[in-house]
Amino acid sequence: MSSYGERLAAVTAARGRLCVGIDPHRSVIEAWGYEFGLAGLEAVARGMVDALGDVVAVFKPQSAFFEAHGSAGVAVLERTIAAAKAAGALVIVDAKRGDIGSTMAAYADAYLSDSSPLAGDALTVSPYLGFGSLQPALDLAHATGRGLYVLARTSNPEGGDVQSAVRADGVTVAQGMVDAAIAANEASGQGAVGLVIGATHSDAGCDLDHFNGSILAPGIGAQGGTIQSLAGIFGPATDRVLPSASREVLLSGPSVAGLREAVARLQLV
């Protein structure tokens, strides 16, 4: 079994580091010429994979836009994940799950086990209940060769209320997530634990010099981040960044040529 870190290194070496978000918002579905509903949801999500599955390293479907259509929408997410994997891309399911104990273990079963139709290659997780609460997901990710992306410093301004708060040991909440991720990756040797850090700040808001996993950086394009600004934000860790663009790519569709041109424009190399 290959680790998530190994598979990510291989696919990004071949295809570049751009992560493409699949965010089938109502406005996107309508811009593609469909009515808002299940058929339009599936047309956009599958259209993205059909157009880009052979050139994009990582897709990041956003679970919320599927859940908004109920369980039938979640079934579309399952089919989208399967199609992206079949095309040779990796899938980060952006669901920001987080809970404790047996409930966290159930989320891990849903998104990180070999038998689940909702399992991609990695999952975004939310640590309001503490990094330690994520342990069942870490354990299963390590066991199945999958990855986690832990929210650390997000791209929205109001995130600072939590993420810049200072713990009793003097480090910020965000830095505490970085430090815990470093320790988890050192212990496993797998590089399974990544971080979510927005690409819209003037700096990353935490010290990433020793970070040893990958960094998912949403906010390229519609949220105001640019590929060119990454080095200024992430410094020496820039090589670990997966810049993620969603709306800017989605709104270049449904034309296959338009979608592929948008990806080519946004690739780092």
User: At closest approach, how far in Å is the CB of 129 from its own copies?
Assistant: 5
User: At closest approach, how far in Å is the CB of 269 from its own copies?
Assistant: 29
Integer Cα distance of 246 and 267 in angstroms: 13
Closer CB to its own copies, residue 67 or residue 261?
Answer: 67
Active site residue 60: no
β-pair partners for 148: 123, 193
User: At closest approach, how far in Å is the CB of 24 from its own copies?
Assistant: 9
Closer CB to its own copies, residue 173 or residue 181?
Answer: 173
Binding site for its own copies (CB under 8 A): 23, 25, 62, 64-65, 67-68, 70-72, 74-75, 77-78, 96-104, 106-107, 109-111, 116-118, 126-133, 151, 154-156, 158-168, 172-173, 176
Closer CB to its own copies, residue 11 or residue 204?
Answer: 204
What sections of 88-134 are H helices per DSSP? 101-112
Closer CB to its own copies, residue 3 or residue 172?
Answer: 172
Catalytic residue among 69, 96, 146, 240: 96
Q: What DSSP state is assigned to residue 149?
A: E
Here the contacts of 112-118 (C-beta below 8 Å, separation 24 or greater) are 112/137, 112/140, 112/141, 112/144, 112/146, 112/148, 113/140, 113/144, 114/144, 117/78, 117/81, 117/82, 118/74, 118/77, 118/78, 118/81, 118/93
User: At closest approach, how far in Å is the CB of 246 from its own copies?
Assistant: 9
Q: Enumerate the active-site residues.
A: 96
